[in-house]
Chain A
Amino acid sequence: GAVVSQHPSWVICKSGTSVKIECRSLDFQATTMFWYRQFPKQSLMLMATSNEGSKATYEQGVEKDKFLINHASLTLSTLTVTSAHPEDSSFYICSAKVARGTDTQYFGPGTRLTVL
């Protein structure tokens, strides 16, 4: 149980285009999802916390107009990188909590974004 998927697993795009990454909880309803960014050989950096039906809460220094997050249902959250540039190239990972009040997060397999 507690499986989280991401799509696509990798994407290459041209500079200036927008890319959408999907995060789905496959066997549970996730009231809260999280989006992380991971640079090579580094730990995870939390970008934003996404609650179903409400606006995402972004961490300090993360541009909300650059990284659009939508959590329209209890099983799906999307991250759209708008007007992507090479510096946005990274590994993006989502996670989800099974229920409010629990601490455990279950992670997706990640999406490798390369912007040319």
Chain B
Amino acid sequence: GDSVTQMEGPVTLSEEAFLTINCTYTATGYPSLFWYVQYPGEGLQLLLKATKADDKGSNKGFEATYRKETTSFHLEKGSVQVSDSAVYFCARPQGGSEKLVFGKGTKLTVNP
């Protein structure tokens, strides 16, 4: 079935380090792809999205490129900040429905 697989954390980085969180999706159709972020004790916020192959979503210094050839949507940021500490979820629609399928989440901790 439709799914996304993201690298499991936790990931711990120092401030200003480069971040990559891997996400791959099952190649059924050409789904929109999403990254959501969840700060401690809060709901999810849409971080960025891409709707078709080769699209690059970006927001708050984060980027992810929709790669059809590798069925990937890896999240990257060139220089993380302490305030980026959160759990990041990759997601895609479940084909033929209105539902979203989420990855298991990757907890990022950025130390000063």
Q: Which residues of A contact B (CB under 8 A)?
A: 4, 6, 32, 34, 41-44, 46, 49, 93, 95, 97, 103-110, 112
Shortest Cβ distance from residue B105 to the other chain A in the assembled complex, whole angstroms? 5
Query: Which 3 residue pairs of A and B lie closest in terms of their CB atoms, listed nearest first?
Result: A107-B44, A110-B43, A103-B32
With a CB–CB cut-off of 8 A, which chain A residues contact B99?
34, 46, 49
Most chain A CB atoms below 10 A, which of B32, B89, B102: B102
CA distance A6 to B44 in the complex (A): 12
Also in contact, A107 and B98, with CB within 8 A (given A42-B104, A43-B89, A43-B105): no
Also in contact, A105 and B104, with CB within 8 A (given A93-B43, A110-B43): no
CA distance A104 to B102 in the complex (A): 13
Choose one: A4, A44, A97; the contact of B102 (CB below 8 Å).
Answer: A44
The reply to whether B32 and A93 form a contact with Cβ atoms under 8 Å apart is: no
B62 CB within 8 Å of chain A: no
CA distance A106 to B34 in the complex (A): 12
- Pick 10 A–B contacts, CB within 8 A, sort by A: A34-B100, A43-B103, A93-B44, A103-B34, A103-B100, A104-B32, A106-B46, A107-B43, A107-B45, A107-B46
